[in-house]
Amino acid sequence: MPLRNYYEGTVKKDGVVYHLVDTNKLTGLFEELGWQVEFGKKTALTRAYIAKPGEEIVTRHDSGEETHYKAQGGEVVFDNGGGDKFVPRDEEGKSNGAQLLKDKYELQRGSLESGDAEYIPLSKPSKLLIGINPDPIRIVNPWGAGSTQDLPEGSTLKLDGNKVTGIEKTAFEKTWSRTDEKGNILKSATQRADGKTRKDFLNDTTSRKKG
């Protein structure tokens, strides 16, 4: 598994061993596995509100805690439900949720000030490596120095520009859709942008190994 070549040690949290991977080096994995890269974008409604000073913003998944952020106050919080709550940040770790809402989302109802705003994403598709990690991983520095993201096995890696972050499997299935390179949603969850299904893809992979 090529991802294992990017492991840089381990850390144990809540009984789970996470393999460390540096976000700045993971772009190489997308180049190495170009034939496996798919496209997708977030399509589910997102609730957004303004964080209070000292508020603990925690992203959780079935295996435990993914990210933890203590708000200064005034940051925009994205809440997709089911424990998928986070403060969007840029590569320097600065909160950029307000700018993201302005550039990549459309307000459907409510308002940030009242805490009941709901937005629909208008973002362009991202490059994805779906279900790529065979082991739990911790992405190091995804939102600036010192930040981390813990992901269980079977998660998806997402490349935007030179930044790689992850999407936990259940969150991906509930809030993302596979698309072609232009952002058109594929008819089937198993269809790839090249028109093949994931079954075709696995058959192609098996043929490569036999060859």
The predicted structure's pLDDT at residue 188: 53
Q: How big is the chain by its Cα radius of gyration, in Å?
A: 18
Integer Cα distance of 122 and 99 in angstroms: 13
pLDDT at 179 over 90: yes
Answer yes or no: are the C-beta atoms of 77 and 83 closer than 8 Å: no
The whole-angstrom separation of Cα 122 and Cα 43 is: 8
Residue 168 confidence (pLDDT) above 70: yes
pLDDT above 70 coverage of the chain, percent: 88
Whole-number pLDDT of residue 206? 43
3-state DSSP assignment of residue 167: strand
Pick from 42, 208, 29: which is nearest to 133 by CA? Answer: 29
Whether residue 197 is predicted with pLDDT greater than 50 in this model: the reply is no
Pairing of β 10-13 and β 16-22: antiparallel
Which two structure tokens, joined as six digits, stand for 35? 């034939």
Residue 90 is predicted with a pLDDT of: 87
State pLDDT tens for residues 93-102. Answer: 889 999 999 9
Q: What is the mean pLDDT of residues 67-80?
A: 93
Looking at residue 52, what is its pLDDT?
A: 94
Return the amino acid letter for 19.
H
pLDDT average, residue stretch 96-111: 93
Band (pLDDT 50/70/90 cuts) for residue 63 is: confident
Note the pLDDT of residue 208: 42
What residues does 58 pair with on adjacent strands? 68
pTM of the model: 0.76
Residue environment code for 191-206, b if the CB has 16+ CB neighbours within 10 A, otherwise e: bbbeeeebeebeeeee
Q: Which residues contact 44 (CB under 8 A, 6 or more apart)?
A: 80, 121, 174, 175, 176
Nearest partner of 124 among 30, 190, 33, 43, judged by Cα: 43
The stretch 57-66 carries a mean pLDDT of: 85
